[in-house]
Structure 1
């Protein structure tokens, strides 16, 4: 690529990429309509899609390993003469082929699925070359279903000079066919001048190759390539691809932000009602709550839509900040809506908000699935007339029959639990509707401001990459009076001690949770089922009132049980993780989490947040089944060492990756093909800087980068 005339400018590639990279796959020999249809089902429609369909692992067929030196679990290529062939039918058809080589050792090839013609190929004395992973068998090492080919007895077969890529399987297309098609696509790669979209000085500064060299290295690594680095994703070729992929996702989100900012939103400048609420609160705001509210206040005073994510640990006081923001809308004569993912959480918000706001004369309406008939009609009429100033509910808020009079602020709690289209539907209840995906330049529509909240703290690197379309605020300070929760990890063998501990705590007037990870017994999962645990604890603790709540219960029954627990009518609540986001019970001071090794850090932290909400010393017991995996041990140790949700979030990102933290399947944030936010975090500053330059100077190149890596996958990501 030619060096730019000015260092600050981004070079513009020629038209070859559009001409070649976007060529339909049907142009490749052997890719007819049926094959193309199967590829399209996986999002592969043009040549550049195959260029970016990267190997998941590699097979080293460049050398022959002696059979005597094989190690179980290490994939190798071996070659030998067939010594014996045996077919068996005792339990199911089995074909065993014994081969030996010059190391004077024998290896068994075992097949469970085979044809008669295949058996006929295996003749004692014939030479065979095969690839697979050895494992211990009845008579030494064996490879089950190796890939193989028979060799000419006289001529030595030529070994390959590059590692063989193994691609993710695509239904209906064999591995060899897919490898051939990707090879044909790679043969059509344009030269650097046409293909490269990143500035040379950036690549050289990071010691990264061009895109063409990176793709060829990843797809066709040389025999002496650093296979460990390739498998770990740390090879410079993969770093080059990760850089552009992170840039593509960043640009996509930034463009969504720009499209949203092109709309108009009501400027909310009156603070009178919010100040009245603040004066009436029975507590003072923490410094963090005050700081975040001032950030929201500045946003809402502008005539462009706010897009702000407020993250804060369990119990940090996000709800009161949301209430103050809602009063800015109501004080301006408009409406606000707060949507929560479950009726339990929504109703908890409702109780708090009515307690704070109704004394100020604010009408708070409730709309959930269980509000039906005449009551529902009355609520809908109040929402449509504007009489209902703040509407609290679940996804029922987004249904077609719900019409707002003048919605100015949409608040979404636990935003990662909602699908993208659901959040768009609530946003579109604003006066002007409009589509956040509209291209820039269309007439601005009036949309409500958006405030999204999460009690799952998001690591800084994840926020930089996944929420580039949002301003991010953190309530990183707990209100005074919250007691630290003492966390310990115990083997399940010590269960009887915990039963006595519950008896003592409840005798002192406290309440406890016992959390199970499944509802019914399962032979496949080593976990105590909630129902079985409930039955057992009821027998073991006859003097206590034991309740049960799980996700399969009817909503009304679940709600009644949770409210009974909140009122102190239940001493011990046996529950599944449905209480992860649940009712605030200050009197609950003991949490036992069964099979804690099966849960992720974020979920464990959320569950632990159910206790320690009052003034009494609280405890969380992580009950685990031995033996612990190394990963599970790290998770439990992290929980013991810290209660800082942001520290836990960083560790969770390191251990689990971004997918589970974000709930990518429903947020619309596509899974990365190459990039790993924990591993590649050091690239993010360059990504942000280059993203700014491209959007300002070369929007056409930004469009190409997004199209290359993302396509339409992030169309709704900024909802």
Structure 2
């Protein structure tokens, strides 16, 4: 059996793994010995020493040893078996709610018992609830104490800690004789001072009592870093391979700039330096004969849509079609309005394709796309339906792409796929996001994309002033809205949002909350015209109400979080968010971005209900202290972790098994350098690394 063959040895090689056990272990992603050895403990228990009962502390895991003094069944509110144990320094109670008569009978007075557990305060002083225990036997006494710390593994129904420890112990014997193949050349790791893979795995599964357990658990021990480094290298390799595969396709050379120059001449404002820089990067990409793969990040209000329009006009001028896809009809409608406003004077008609479109209109749009008379189409998921065929698709623009699944994004690209004399041609791809992406996530999730950042806001924008207020201040908040927005107020045309949130992910419950607030504020603010928008309304009704608010015909808009993206009303200078503690930082930041879009000073009032959790306090403090989207994104990543930060994790999305992007940020850059070196000089190690860590998931960030 050679080194890497650990991955080819099924778990059935181990004693105690039959078909039923193998099926349960497979739920943990464990199929072979290498899987098992890479299934690491998340904490450790110290069962190497006995603690005196008199020194016990609540909720601290310990081993005690003493004599059984009594074992009695107590009939109270709940039947329980109480066993008293003493060791000369004190007495403690073991309590069992689930027990048998046979168990009670084994707990005979005078027998020696060894117990492991965490004592907690109970009615009889400190108590162990359902602890693990061992009794002495006349012929053998108690077994010796553990010599190493006891690992605690992630588990699932039907797989006990005892089973995992037993199987891992067997696998470690294989490891000593047949260590896993080292897939990163030693010279690339020498400078890091990290241990071998076999030594790292042995240490993590079997640490000695004097090992610094805190370093193991915090990911700071060299043994953890060794595995983290290799996993990060594998992810970077997957990204580099995918990027090379994407770049192997051909793409049309798009280079027209006359139309965009005409658009610029008609605008009542100048582009920011950041917009000009990013447009230059896009134009450089689209002139190449291989597909552009570029992510444009820009905070709320930074002008991403105009940058996208510049790319679209370059494609149209070169004789190609453009598709812009957004995750919601509300956001897609906003893009359609902007593009129509800018492009109609240039003689370009913006077509529309969404689920709410009627059969006749849909048929007409599909026909125009197929015969090439439609230059640009804006829409939602409807764009990648089978009936949609393009005549000559040269550019796809995807907004807030993290809300789409991998297959959905690929489906839109495939609409422009052509087989020609040069090989396979696909459209250029532009991805937009108003959610600033922390650097570590950008490197690991979107590492196959070139990245541009619009890091400058249009001139004249003032930072939004954010206040954090308890729910008890609600009457004063309502009065403030009345003072600011009523038609007789000194400030003309001031408008406000009132956002209702609920912790449940339920359109129906959110709608009910918004409707109740709508009824309340109509009575409280009789001088204001109030509109209501929520996700359960029909798209047409929602659009009409939004349009009235946009035109200034209403002063206050009550809404659910459907207004998170896609609403642009410069006169709206006041935002109230109820139950702000229930939202994540990214969503709070997106919602706040609905104000501050004009020249007037804007305000955001975050109402919260007590008691506030520690995380809730920290989130609201971050919102109060900064309006910088990238600072907020970094804090959000620290609070929520990468999996939750990314939202609904689509098939193949980021799934680190050991690495933690927040904890291990410092290892990301070295891992990227090693991955590049492997691509250049050690291509033979790439596939084995991907198989070990990605399990065929190299396409996790495919777009």
Counterpart residue number, 1:464: 443
Counterpart residue number, 1:489: 468
Whole-Å Cα distance in 1 between the matches of residues 56 and 538 of structure 2? Answer: 57
Instruction: Return the offset for 1:354.
Output: 0.6
In structure 2, relative to structure 1, the CA distance for the partners of 1:512 and 1:132 (3 Å cut) is farther
Whole-Å Cα distance in 2 between the matches of residues 635 and 556 of structure 1? Answer: 35
Of residues 531, 543, 546 in structure 1, which corresponds to 2:530?
546
In structure 2, relative to structure 1, the CA distance for the partners of 1:484 and 1:532 (3 Å cut) is same
Maintained 8 Å contact 1:81/1:126: yes
Counterpart residue number, 1:145: 130
Counterpart residue number, 1:134: 119
* 1:572-591 deviation digits (Å, cap 9, x = unpaired): 22323222113112121111
Query: Does 1:627 find its partner at 2:611?
Result: yes
Query: Does 1:658 find its partner at 2:642?
Result: yes
Maintained 8 Å contact 2:531/2:558: yes
Instruction: Return the offset for 1:145.
Output: 2.5
Maintained 8 Å contact 1:433/1:447: no
Maintained 8 Å contact 2:70/2:84: yes
Task: Count matched residues.
Answer: 695
Whole-Å Cα distance in 2 between the matches of residues 140 and 714 of structure 1? Answer: 55
Whole-Å Cα distance in 2 between the matches of residues 540 and 123 of structure 1? Answer: 73
Maintained 8 Å contact 1:336/1:408: yes
Maintained 8 Å contact 1:293/1:325: yes
Counterpart residue number, 1:570: 554
Aligned-residue RMSD, C-alpha: 2.6
Counterpart residue number, 2:570: 586
Whole-Å Cα distance in 1 between the matches of residues 531 and 155 of structure 2? Answer: 47
Counterpart residue number, 1:555: 539
Counterpart residue number, 1:438: none
In structure 2, relative to structure 1, the CA distance for the partners of 1:134 and 1:594 (3 Å cut) is farther
In structure 2, relative to structure 1, the CA distance for the partners of 1:201 and 1:539 (3 Å cut) is same
Instruction: Return the offset for 1:31.
Output: 1.9
* 1:600-657 deviation digits (Å, cap 9, x = unpaired): 2222111111111122211111222233333332222222221111122222223322
In structure 2, relative to structure 1, the CA distance for the partners of 1:194 and 1:164 (3 Å cut) is closer
- The answer for unaligned runs of 5 or more in structure 2 is none
Instruction: Return the offset for 1:20.
Output: 2.4
Query: Does 1:500 find its partner at 2:485?
Result: no
SS at match of 1:666: coil
Instruction: Return the offset for 1:88.
Output: 4.4
Counterpart residue number, 1:533: 517
Instruction: Return the offset for 1:37.
Output: 2.5
Judge which range, 184-193 or 260-269, deviates more: 184-193
Whole-Å Cα distance in 2 between the matches of residues 527 and 497 of structure 1? Answer: 24
Query: Does 1:715 find its partner at 2:694?
Result: no
Query: Does 1:637 find its partner at 2:621?
Result: yes
Instruction: Return the offset for 1:566.
Output: 2.1
Whole-Å Cα distance in 2 between the matches of residues 520 and 699 of structure 1? Answer: 49
Of residues 162, 166, 173 in structure 2, which corresponds to 1:187?
173
Maintained 8 Å contact 2:3/2:178: no
Counterpart residue number, 1:293: 279
Judge which range, 637-646 or 627-636, deviates more: 627-636
Whole-Å Cα distance in 2 between the matches of residues 518 and 342 of structure 1? Answer: 20
Query: Does 1:120 find its partner at 2:99?
Result: no
Of residues 303, 319, 328 in structure 2, which corresponds to 1:333?
319
SS at match of 1:195: coil
Instruction: Return the offset for 1:528.
Output: 11
Instruction: Return the offset for 1:443.
Output: 9.0
SS at match of 1:309: strand
Judge which range, 190-199 or 214-223, deviates more: 190-199
Query: Does 1:218 find its partner at 2:197?
Result: no
Maintained 8 Å contact 1:403/1:429: yes
Instruction: Return the offset for 1:85.
Output: 2.9
Maintained 8 Å contact 1:346/1:392: yes
Of residues 440, 446, 453 in structure 1, which corresponds to 2:425?
446
Counterpart residue number, 2:386: 400
Counterpart residue number, 1:199: 185
Whole-Å Cα distance in 1 between the matches of residues 536 and 128 of structure 2? Answer: 45
Query: Does 1:686 find its partner at 2:665?
Result: no
Counterpart residue number, 2:23: 37
Query: Does 1:75 find its partner at 2:96?
Result: no
For residues 50-65 of structure 1, the aligned pairs below 5 Å read 50-65=36-51
Instruction: Return the offset for 1:89.
Output: 5.2
SS at match of 1:188: helix
Whole-Å Cα distance in 2 between the matches of residues 72 and 368 of structure 1? Answer: 60
Of residues 600, 607, 629 in structure 1, which corresponds to 2:584?
600
In structure 2, relative to structure 1, the CA distance for the partners of 1:49 and 1:193 (3 Å cut) is closer
Whole-Å Cα distance in 1 between the matches of residues 422 and 115 of structure 2? Answer: 64
Instruction: Return the offset for 1:385.
Output: 1.2
- The answer for unaligned runs of 5 or more in structure 1 is 1-14, 435-441
Query: Does 1:360 find its partner at 2:346?
Result: yes
Q: TM-score, normalised by structure 1?
A: 0.91
In structure 2, relative to structure 1, the CA distance for the partners of 1:426 and 1:42 (3 Å cut) is farther
* 1:251-298 deviation digits (Å, cap 9, x = unpaired): 111111111111111111222223222333232111001111111111
Whole-Å Cα distance in 1 between the matches of residues 149 and 378 of structure 2? Answer: 58
In structure 2, relative to structure 1, the CA distance for the partners of 1:96 and 1:502 (3 Å cut) is farther
In structure 2, relative to structure 1, the CA distance for the partners of 1:346 and 1:220 (3 Å cut) is same
Instruction: Return the offset for 1:502.
Output: 1.5
Counterpart residue number, 2:14: 28
Judge which range, 119-128 or 401-410, deviates more: 119-128
For residues 659-674 of structure 1, the aligned pairs below 5 Å read 659-663=643-647, 665-666=649-650, 668-674=652-658
Whole-Å Cα distance in 1 between the matches of residues 383 and 510 of structure 2? Answer: 40
In structure 2, relative to structure 1, the CA distance for the partners of 1:66 and 1:718 (3 Å cut) is same
Maintained 8 Å contact 1:241/1:674: yes
Maintained 8 Å contact 2:84/2:91: no
Counterpart residue number, 1:262: 248
SS at match of 1:456: coil
Judge which range, 533-542 or 393-402, deviates more: 533-542
